[in-house]
């Protein structure tokens, strides 16, 4: 942008330079929030994969920040864990030192969850009070913060499902917990990208925006299916690809009655549906890329479509390796992180069709 253009913009939108600086500050803050959310989801995944999520059997939003500090406190925490079915039926005979390993995973997850509330709320208040938050963004950001608070309740609701009868948390509640985390993550990416200067160009087709929205939805839905797989430990069986139980479409997918319950509670069916979801997402991103390349080969939107397809390809490879090697922790976490990267980029691609938020002058933002 030339100096003349900058002067013209500042005349049309008084305080435009200041608003750009404010936007940069808010962008940096939201970028950090996105990073912490990414880490939070990965630690949550590790908690699930190591069966650590039930190691803390009480919900102490404030006092729970402080872990056990001496042998007596560790013993007290361990005795609480010994009362639940997971210890009695799965981990009977576990020592205190072995218990500490699973405890620290769950404590780290809860600590990060508490931290994200402060990382989000404190800067939001500061930016709001100092007039750096544009009017159009205030309530969306407050709504995102409120959803984060609700997520804390959902997290405990999830954990409580495994404290009385089950030896792990309910897959339904696990999927709900993960999807809400992804919605918070997506909202932050959406707003952050809306505050970022973007190259604009004509969309490849008049339906490209709708297609991009569909891809973002498919990415989120695939994460939901993956959460059901994780909740049922469905990835630990049928560890071959592309065949599953000796066939492309295995038998006995709908043994349970009613038939639809298999989609949520039959590990074989849940894994098969997750595989099919991956194929659909891969095919959809491929078609979207081909159409974009044929209609607008040099546009920025087409470039993003290509990158999105490549990310989905990489994620598919990681998913296959995770399955074939029977869900080792490193590959499983890479697969979960890859899912967030695909989702985040799908949201970025969709936001590219909308463009950045128009500048508000400071008088309008103050009203």
Note the pLDDT tens digit of each residue in 139-159. Answer: 999 999 999 999 999 999 999
| Distance from C-alpha of 136 to C-alpha of 165, rounded to nearest angstrom | 47
Dihedral angle over CA of 128, 131, 132, 136, nearest 10: 70
* pLDDT value for 121: 96
* pLDDT value for 14: 54
* pLDDT value for 2: 46
* pLDDT value for 13: 54
What is the model's pTM? 0.92
Is residue 138 exposed (0-12), middle (13-18) or buried (19+ Cβ within 10 Å)? middle
Reading the block at residue 98, the tokens are 């072995």
* pLDDT value for 360: 67
* pLDDT value for 149: 94
| Distance from C-alpha of 290 to C-alpha of 214, rounded to nearest angstrom | 16
Residue 244: beta bridge partners?
A: 247
CA angle at residue 197 from 191 to 201, to 5 degrees?
105
With a cut of 70, list the residues of the chain below it in pLDDT: 1-15, 63, 360-367
Reading the block at residue 187, the tokens are 């909202």
| Distance from C-alpha of 3 to C-alpha of 23, rounded to nearest angstrom | 20
Q: Please answer whether residues 252 and 189 qualify as being in contact, where contact means their C-beta atoms are separated by less than 8 angstroms.
A: no
């Amino acid at each position: 942008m030339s100096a003349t253009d900058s002067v013209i913009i500042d005349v049309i939108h008084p305080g435009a330079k200041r608003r750009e600086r404010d936007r940069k500050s808010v962008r940096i803050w939201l970028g950090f929030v996105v990073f912490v959310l990414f880490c939070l989801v990965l630690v949550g995944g590790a908690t699930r994969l190591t069966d650590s999520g039930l190691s803390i059997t009480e919900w102490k939003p404030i006092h729970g920040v402080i872990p056990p500090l001496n042998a007596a406190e560790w013993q007290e925490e361990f005795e609480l864990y010994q009362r639940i079915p997971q210890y009695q039926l799965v981990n009977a005979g576990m020592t205190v030192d072995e218990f500490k390993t699973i405890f620290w995973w769950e404590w780290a997850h809860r600590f990060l969850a508490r931290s994200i509330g402060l990382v989000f709320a404190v800067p939001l208040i500061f930016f709001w009070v100092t007039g750096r938050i544009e009017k159009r963004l205030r309530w969306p950001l407050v709504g995102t913060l409120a959803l984060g608070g609700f997520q804390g309740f959902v997290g405990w609701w999830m954990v409580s499902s495994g404290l009385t009868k089950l030896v792990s948390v309910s897959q339904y509640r696990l999927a709900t917990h993960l999807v809400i985390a992804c919605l918070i993550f997506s909202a932050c990416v959406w707003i952050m990208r809306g505050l970022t200067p973007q190259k604009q160009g004509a969309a490849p087709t008049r339906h490209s925006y709708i297609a991009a929205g569909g891809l973002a939805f498919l990415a989120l839905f695939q994460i939901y299916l993956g959460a059901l797989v994780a909740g049922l430990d469905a990835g630990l069986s049928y560890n071959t690809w592309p065949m599953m139980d000796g066939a492309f479409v295995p038998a006995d997918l709908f043994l349970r009655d009613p038939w639809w319950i298999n989609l949520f509670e039959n590990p074989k069916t849940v894994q098969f549906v997750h595989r099919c979801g991956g194929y659909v997402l891969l095919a959809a991103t491929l078609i979207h890329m081909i159409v974009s390349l044929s209609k607008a080969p040099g546009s920025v939107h087409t470039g993003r479509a290509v990158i999105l397809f490549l990310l989905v390809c990489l994620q598919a490879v990681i998913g296959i390796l995770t399955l074939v090697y029977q869900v080792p922790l490193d590959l499983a976490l890479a697969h979960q992180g890859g899912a967030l990267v695909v989702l985040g980029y799908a949201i970025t691609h969709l936001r590219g069709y909308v463009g950045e938020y128009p500048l508000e002058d400071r008088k309008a933002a103050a009203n």
